[in-house]
């Protein structure tokens, strides 16, 4: 079942708007923010006695950045990229993340592909004077893109095409959020929010009530929410054309690149928001579904358990998966 709502926006971006209704224990909210993977990470807890656990979360972020970053020269990913096809021994977490990335590369038939490193390195969406790469450079870059060239044997990884380059940025944030949640849960934390640049993961409930996650109208200076989701122990992840983009000669160029063409996808979608249990799955699904387009992307969502989605098309309509409103209550805010 699909529900469509006309909305007057150009793009969608995710802004967390939480209704803090009080918690058990000491109700003082504590939080910490830092910058990893080119994004601001914020962890919020609701017990002053848990303040030391915030440091533990960011220790994890630091560790995983050292494993997964393609720009740190001695990271696992950089070692694989520099090995010219030879096997490289890596940490087990790197294997887990690569396997997750390969899964979503497979189900999207390469629409999401973790071997886009040469391609993503050509595009600069955040610079002061961004430019569209040369056609010849793009053609050369996409010639090395093929997730099927990634080979795993135990804890070693090799690239069958020695010119290929991994880029795990499309799924790493979700993986790190899941690891932070597991760490906090092991420490007895039952309430909290992990936010990695709009990738939001909620621990349990707050005072036995769901967290209210507001999805805001894009570029709205007043911070007006477009719709709100009531979430309990789930993640909300969005991939959209607004996240990193620039306009040149009246044309929008965004960061969700089509590995087949080397240019941003043009498939009539503005964004895909995923609501599920695992943030890594939310990351993979949001990009995979975006690459697949509305019809096939929604078909994939409907085939999965405990997973819902909201697609926004360029005609400014919201498309909800069939479980929305039941398993994930929401409210359209006019």
- Say if residue 110 is exposed, middle or buried (CB neighbours under 10 Å; 0-12, 13-18, 19+): middle
Distance CA 118, CA 142 (A): 8
Separation CA 310–CA 299 (nearest Å): 12
Report the alpha-carbon distance of residue 269 to residue 4 in Å, rounded: 14
pLDDT given for residue 54 in this prediction: 97
At 266-311, the pLDDT tens digits run 999 999 999 999 999 999 999 999 999 999 999 999 999 999 999 9
CA atoms in the 13 A half-sphere facing the CB of 41: 23
Q: Which fold has domain 4-66+181-332?
A: T-fold (3.10.520)
Residue 302, helix vs strand vs coil: helix
Does residue 13 register a pLDDT over 70? no
- Fold (CATH) for 71-167: T-fold (1.10.3980)
Q: For the purposes of burial, counting CB atoms within 10 Å of the CB of 239, is it exposed (0-12), middle (13-18) or buried (19 or more)? A: buried
How does the average pLDDT of the chain come out, rounded? 89
Question: What's the pLDDT tens digit per position in 54-86?
Answer: 999 999 999 999 999 999 999 999 999 999 999
pLDDT (tens digit, 9 = 90+) per residue, 194-225? 999 879 999 987 767 899 998 766 656 576 77
For the beta carbon of residue 15, count every other beta carbon within 10 angstroms.
Answer: 18
Q: Please state the domain extents for the chain.
A: 4-66+181-332, 71-167
Query: Quick one: CA torsion of 206, 219, 114, 184, rounded to 10 degrees?
Result: -20
Q: Residue 316 — very low, low, confident or very high, per pLDDT cuts 50/70/90?
A: confident
Task: Find residue 206's DSSP bridge partners.
Answer: 209
Q: Note the pLDDT tens digit of each residue in 90-102.
A: 999 999 999 999 9
* pLDDT at position 334: 67
- The helices-and-strands tally (H runs, E runs) of the chain is 7, 18
CA distance readout (Å), 254 to 243, 245, 246, 258, 316? 8, 4, 7, 11, 18
Task: Give tens-digit pLDDT for 105-123.
Answer: 999 999 999 999 999 999 9
């Amino acid at each position: 079942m699909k529900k469509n709502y006309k909305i007057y926006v150009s793009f969608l971006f995710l802004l967390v708007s939480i209704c803090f209704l009080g918690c058990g224990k000491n109700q003082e909210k504590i939080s910490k923010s830092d910058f990893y993977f080119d994004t601001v990470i914020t962890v919020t807890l609701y017990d002053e006695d848990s303040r030391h656990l915030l440091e533990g979360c960011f220790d994890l972020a630091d560790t995983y950045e050292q494993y997964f970053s393609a720009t740190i020269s001695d990271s696992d990913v950089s070692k694989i990229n520099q090995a010219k096809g030879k096997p490289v021994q890596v940490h087990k977490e790197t294997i887990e993340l690569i396997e997750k990335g390969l899964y979503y590369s497979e189900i999207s038939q390469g629409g999401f592909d973790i071997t886009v490193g040469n391609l993503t390195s050509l595009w600069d969406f955040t610079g002061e004077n961004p430019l569209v790469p040369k056609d010849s450079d793009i053609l050369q870059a996409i010639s090395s893109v093929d997730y099927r060239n990634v080979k795993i044997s135990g804890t070693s990884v090799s690239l069958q095409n020695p010119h290929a380059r991994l880029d795990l940025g499309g799924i790493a944030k979700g993986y790190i959020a899941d690891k932070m949640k597991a760490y906090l849960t092991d420490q007895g934390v039952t309430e909290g929010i992990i936010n990695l640049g709009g990738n939001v993961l909620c621990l349990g409930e707050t005072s036995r009530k769901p967290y209210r996650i507001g999805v805001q109208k894009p570029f709205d200076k007043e911070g007006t929410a477009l719709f709100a989701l009531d979430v309990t122990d789930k993640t909300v992840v969005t991939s959209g054309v607004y996240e990193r983009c620039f306009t040149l000669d009246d044309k929008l160029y965004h960061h969700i690149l089509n590995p087949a063409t080397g240019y941003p996808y043009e498939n009539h979608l503005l964004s895909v928001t995923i609501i599920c249990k695992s943030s890594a799955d939310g990351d993979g699904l949001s990009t995979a579904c975006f690459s697949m387009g509305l019809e096939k992307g929604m078909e994939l969502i409907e085939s999965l358990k405990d997973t819902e989605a909201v697609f926004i098309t360029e005609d400014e309509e919201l498309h909800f998966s069939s479980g929305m409103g039941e398993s994930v209550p929401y409210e359209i805010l006019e």
